[in-house]
Structure 1
Amino acid sequence: MAKLLAVDFEGAAQFRTQIPFARVVATWGEDSPSVDLEVAPGSERAGLIGGELPVSGEARDERGSLIGEVTLWATDGFLSAIEYWWVSEDRPTSLPDPTLMTVST
């Protein structure tokens, strides 16, 4: 989350304050790296922003081949999910290493 939210877009500063208050509350399936989040009280709401945030992290392996992309979701101005889609036939069990991601808005 920190790597994706390090870039500027509407609400990014408020979403950054939510990182220490966010916790995983559900996965999107057995061994899925995509998760639902809940943000505890005490952080700043990012307006009423909802849906997929305008930032993503394209992940490539050490050879430069695309392995997937990480996106963030919000509900009512609070972080609500981390989604990871991948291109391999085998489902990954974890998010890609942030050092392998290129972030864009």
Structure 2
Amino acid sequence: MAITSTILVVEDDAIVRMLIVDVLEELEFSVIEAADADEALTAVKNTNQVIDLMMTDVGLPGMDGKQLATQVRELRPTVPILFASGYAEGVDFPAGMQVIAKPFSIDQLRDKVKSML
């Protein structure tokens, strides 16, 4: 049996988050859900929790996705980070971070996640 990768999904829109989680679980990933940066950081700070990839919306309430990514990188320097954004053009992201433009298809999400893991 293959080892399941664990993906932390940070998305403030509950419906969008549910759809992403459903897709990732169908692809046999283990998923941790967070509605905002605070919930995400709680998961990241839990040293018993494996996180193989973080997928975050750029536009989050409070701390945005890029600020969250900076904090996550301080705690877990090796975690790949995937930003989901409706405004992906012309945004610079640090090394090890990629972006997927919203709206994205199930196939695009699968291919992007698999390429990053």
| TM-score (structure 1 length as normaliser) | 0.30
Is the strand fraction higher in 1 or 2?
Answer: 1
Is the helix fraction higher in 1 or 2?
Answer: 2
| TM-score (structure 2 length as normaliser) | 0.28
Q: Between Structure 1 and Structure 2, whose CA radius of gyration is higher?
A: 1
